[in-house]
Amino acid sequence: MRLRKSLVMLVYLLFVLVPIYSLVNMSFKSNREILGGLTLWPTAPTLDNYRVVFTEPTWYTSYLNSLSYVSMNMLISLLVALPAAYAFSRYRFLGDKHMFFWLLTNRMAPPAVFLLPFFQLYSAVGLFDTPIAVALAHCLFNVPLAVWILEGFMSSVPKEIDETAYIDGYTFPKFFIRIFLPMIRPGIGVTAFFCFMFSWVELLLARTLTSVDAKPIVAQMTRTVSASGIDWGVLAAAGVVALLPGIAVIYFVRNHVAKGFALGRV
């Protein structure tokens, strides 16, 4: 039985890691070698693809654009979702269940549904082709998910803690920041992780709401066709570099994510 489980795990790891290895392998090859056939490792390794990604403004600015709107989206989503989730977890009011369900329906809708309204609105107010436009558009999908996740964590915290803090003379902001938020730290880590995941890989809104100045990396990677064809090596190198922020986020919130999956409603 132990051998069978080990074999299943090995097959799963190969299934997951082979595409990543293939991407890294291609990033060190020239276009001629990539198109020449499949090889397990580069016959003539080159760093030219990475040199293009890190030196050409169209590439490194797209990374900075992506990092800027993803960071803004995570911050806005958490700032909006934290008080909203606290209200849903602590108070009962008319229509609370219906409002909670309505929030989740926004998350269930595909981004294409809101594409034209966002485009017309941001063009009218002058936000088109700016990072904040993409960040705000992604909030429509991340805020409901963040509220749903955080509400599950907050509901698991006994209400007696709130009452004890008020008896001890804590104001609500002081109680919320110093006592309550540290208690739901795993939930905040899980929420930040899912907000980052959606905002970093989402393509449709990010590509439609930007053109030149705020073009993100996911849009730049779809526009690598030139007169000589697709530069597969540069595209692979850009994909490898695009994996690094996700790996970094997972590393820093790994403990919170593990606790969140075990204790929360994820």
Cα separation, 153 vs 187, in Å, equals 6
pTM of the model: 0.84
Residue type at position 218: V
- pLDDT for res 228: 61
Q: What are phi and psi of 33, to 5 degrees?
A: -70, -35
Do residue 64 and residue 40 come from a single domain?
A: no
Do residue 148 and residue 174 come from a single domain?
A: yes
Dihedral of alpha carbons 254, 255, 256, 257, sign? positive
Mind listing the pLDDT tens digit for each residue in 63-114? 999 999 999 999 999 999 999 999 888 888 777 777 777 777 777 888 888 8
Report yes or no on 154 lying in a domain. Answer: yes
Residue 54 burial (CB count, 10 A):
13
Report yes or no on 236 lying in a domain. Answer: yes
Tokens for 177?
């920041």
* 155: containing domain: 55-258
What is the Rg, in whole angstroms, of the alpha carbon atoms belonging to the chain?
Answer: 22
> Locate tokens 């749903």: which residue?
148
Do residue 114 and residue 146 come from a single domain?
A: yes
CATH of the domain at 103: 1.10.3720.10
Please name every residue paired with 226 in a beta bridge, in sequence order, or none if there are none. 229
Report yes or no on 200 lying in a domain. Answer: yes
Report yes or no on 5 lying in a domain. Answer: no
Report yes or no on 30 lying in a domain. Answer: yes
Do residue 215 and residue 177 come from a single domain?
A: yes
Do residue 90 and residue 148 come from a single domain?
A: yes
Least confident residue range of 29-38, 119-128, 257-266: 257-266
The domain tally of the chain equals 2
Mind listing the pLDDT tens digit for each residue in 162-215? 888 888 888 888 999 999 999 888 888 889 989 999 999 898 999 999 988 888
Do residue 77 and residue 130 come from a single domain?
A: yes
Render the burial of 235-245: b for 16+ CB within 10 Å, e for the rest.
bbbbbbbbeeb
- pLDDT for res 262: 60
Report yes or no on 35 lying in a domain. Answer: yes
- Contact status, residue 206 vs residue 141, Cβ threshold 8 Å: no
Dihedral of alpha carbons 7, 10, 16, 22, sign? negative
Do residue 21 and residue 83 come from a single domain?
A: no
Mind listing the pLDDT tens digit for each residue in 188-199? 888 998 999 999
> Locate tokens 């997972």: which residue?
250
- pLDDT for res 222: 79
Do residue 25 and residue 103 come from a single domain?
A: no
Report yes or no on 1 lying in a domain. Answer: no
Cα separation, 163 vs 251, in Å, equals 36
pLDDT at 259 over 70: no
Tokens for 163?
């009452």
Do residue 34 and residue 113 come from a single domain?
A: no
Report yes or no on 227 lying in a domain. Answer: yes
